């Protein structure tokens, strides 16, 4: 599957697995945060995508 890529070759959107790895969160904690709206997600069909910027910002706030 092709995902949008920024000019600097970093993907603009991440999969849940990629976002969990960056944040070092367990699956249950990650999806609890998504369900509560703490971590924003974009739903496309049956898939959830996460903006890299949102994930990086969340990681910096919680560090």
Q: b/e for 31-63, b at 16 or more Cβ within 10 A?
A: bebbeeeebebeeeeeebbbbbebbeebeeeee
Alpha-helical (H) ranges within 1-63 are 16-23, 27-35, 52-62
Residue range 3-40, pLDDT digits in tens? 655 556 788 999 999 999 999 999 999 999 999 999 99
Q: pTM (2 decimals)?
A: 0.81
- The pLDDT value recorded for residue 6 is 54
- The pLDDT value recorded for residue 29 is 98
DSSP annotation of 11 reads: B
CB 33 within 8 A of CB 24: no
Tokens 């910002």, residue? Answer: 57
């Amino acid at each position: 599957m092709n995902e949008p890529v920024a000019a600097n070759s970093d993907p603009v959107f991440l999969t849940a697995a990629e976002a969990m790895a960056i944040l070092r969160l367990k699956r249950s904690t990650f999806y609890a945060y998504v369900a509560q709206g703490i971590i924003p997600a974009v739903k496309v069909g049956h898939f959830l995508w996460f903006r890299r910027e949102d994930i990086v910002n969340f990681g910096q706030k919680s560090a």
